[in-house]
Amino acid sequence: MKRTAALVPLLALIALTLMSAGAQAIRVTGQILAYQDGYVFFTTGDGFRVAPAIVLKDAKTGGATALRPGPRLWALATFDASGSVVELDLSLTALAPQGNFALVKRYAIALSSPFPNPDLAQAPAIPGRPNMVFTGRQVVVVFEVRVPPTTPLEAIVYITTDASGWNPQAIPMQRIDALHFKVIERLVSGTIFHYLYTRGSFASEERSEGGLEEHPRTALVSDADSQVYSNIVYRWADEAMPGQVIQPNVFPTPYNPAPFPNLPPGIHTPHP
């Protein structure tokens, strides 16, 4: 009995040692947001106490580093049992993920108790709306447009977008049949893309069904493997009247009430 009682503190000591050893092994990679006043903050917003004798190393070589902790640097942080950061292995480039901030969340310092943010309440699912997750990956986005039947068969249709400073010929589209054009773009997820269709200039941009200036469409690129935006152009701005296309940058102005602008000169003009 005495022998058993003597073993209890020994076992407790061993357990504590093992736990301590386990705690010391907590290592997490992250990007530094700030390093000041005895704390290191990561871009998660979490701030951790820094041990007075913190060791700074080069994450690639494991040796000494000339880097000083600061915003944008990547670091592999080592926590001791008390939750202080005892080592930072620094890198200018992203490090392979290691550990999990959930494991060290309890060490994060914050004076106030957290409470829910109503802004972050889950939005109800909207049918047909893409899943709004943005990781910055490249996503294939297909734009398809149906053009009005008055569109000349030789017309070239472009997308103009705020991503290119509204260049009216920013993205040329391919004709896929008499009334449809298509283009495939590669965009970064999270991109908010405002766009309109043109036939090469703002004098020939799309118009609403009522003939007025069209408001730019908005595409929000989600993390889906691919996305398709199908649109309809009802009118072009230069359809002053059906069948006539104004070409303001050409002089002399095309002006001829007769329907055949380039008959040979020797042809008799109409007469009674």
Partner 1 sequence: MLLAACAWERAEALTTLRLHADRIAFFYDRFLVEADGHVVVHTSDGMEIRGDAFSMDLKLNRFIVAGNVQVLAPGTQLSGAAFSDFLNFRRVYFIPILAEPDRWTFLNGDFAHPAKGREMPGDTFDFPDIGHRPDLVSRAAVIGANSYVRFERVTSNFFGLPVPLPAFYVSFAPTPALARNSLSGANLDLTYQFAGNANSISAVHLRYDATNHAYASIEQHLAGAHDYAVFSVNPLTAPAKFWNLMTGDTLSTRFQVDTFTQLYTYQYGLAEPLAAAQYTYITASEALPRWSIQGFANLTNFNLLGPGAHAVFANGQTVGELNHPSQVQITASSFQERIFGSPFYEQYFFGTGFNHDSYGTGLQQYGGVTYTTIWNQLVGFSVSLPELTFGNRNSAYDRYVLSGSFTKERQWYSVPHHVDVTTLVSTLSRQITRTVGVYAGYSIVNTGDYYLHGGYSISSPIINGVYAPGFEAFRGVATQRTFSFATNYTPSPEFTLSLLYRHHDDFPEPVPGLFPLPHLNPLGQYIYPSFLGQPPNDLTGDLHVRLAPHISVDIARTDYFGFATLKWSPTFIVQVSQ
Cα 113 to Cα 72: distance, rounded to the nearest angstrom: 28
Q: Does residue number 186 form part of the binding site for partner 1 (CB under 8 A)?
A: yes
Q: Does residue number 257 form part of the binding site for partner 1 (CB under 8 A)?
A: yes
Q: Kindly state the smallest distance separating residue 40's Cβ from partner 1, in Å.
A: 9
Q: Does residue number 101 form part of the binding site for partner 1 (CB under 8 A)?
A: no
Segment near partner 1 (CB under 8 A); pick from 10-18, 52-60, 79-87, 157-165: 157-165
Q: Does residue number 184 form part of the binding site for partner 1 (CB under 8 A)?
A: yes
Q: Which helix (H) or strand (E) holds 220?
A: strand 217-220
**Residue found by looking up tokens 């991503």 in the block:** 163
Q: Kindly state the smallest distance separating residue 84's Cβ from partner 1, in Å.
A: 13
Q: Which helix (H) or strand (E) holds 31?
A: strand 27-36
Residue nearer to partner 1 on the CB measure, 99 or 190: 190
Segment near partner 1 (CB under 8 A); pick from 14-22, 56-64, 83-91, 261-269: 261-269
Residue nearer to partner 1 on the CB measure, 17 or 174: 174
Q: What tokens were used for 189? A: 């997820």
Q: Kindly state the smallest distance separating residue 24's Cβ from partner 1, in Å.
A: 23
Cα 232 to Cα 213: distance, rounded to the nearest angstrom: 14
For partner 1, the binding residues in 221-240 under the rule CB under 8 A are 234-235, 237, 239-240
Residue nearer to partner 1 on the CB measure, 76 or 197: 197
φ/ψ of 79, rounded to 5, equals -105, 140
Residue nearer to partner 1 on the CB measure, 8 or 123: 123
Concatenating the DSSP letter of every residue in 51-104 gives EEEEEEEETTTSS-------TT-EEEEEE-TTS-EEEEEEESSPPPP-S-HHHH
Residue nearer to partner 1 on the CB measure, 26 or 33: 33
Concatenating the DSSP letter of every residue in 80-91 gives -TTS-EEEEEEE
**Site track for partner 1 across 11-50, x = CB under 8 A:** --------------------x-xxxxx-x-x-xxx-x---
Segment near partner 1 (CB under 8 A); pick from 16-24, 53-61, 76-84, 175-183: 175-183
Cβ neighbours around 48 below 10 Å, total: 20
Q: Kindly state the smallest distance separating residue 76's Cβ from partner 1, in Å.
A: 17
**Residue found by looking up tokens 């008499």 in the block:** 178
- Given CA atoms 4, 5, 7, 12 in this order, what sign does their dihedral have? positive
Q: Does residue number 51 form part of the binding site for partner 1 (CB under 8 A)?
A: no
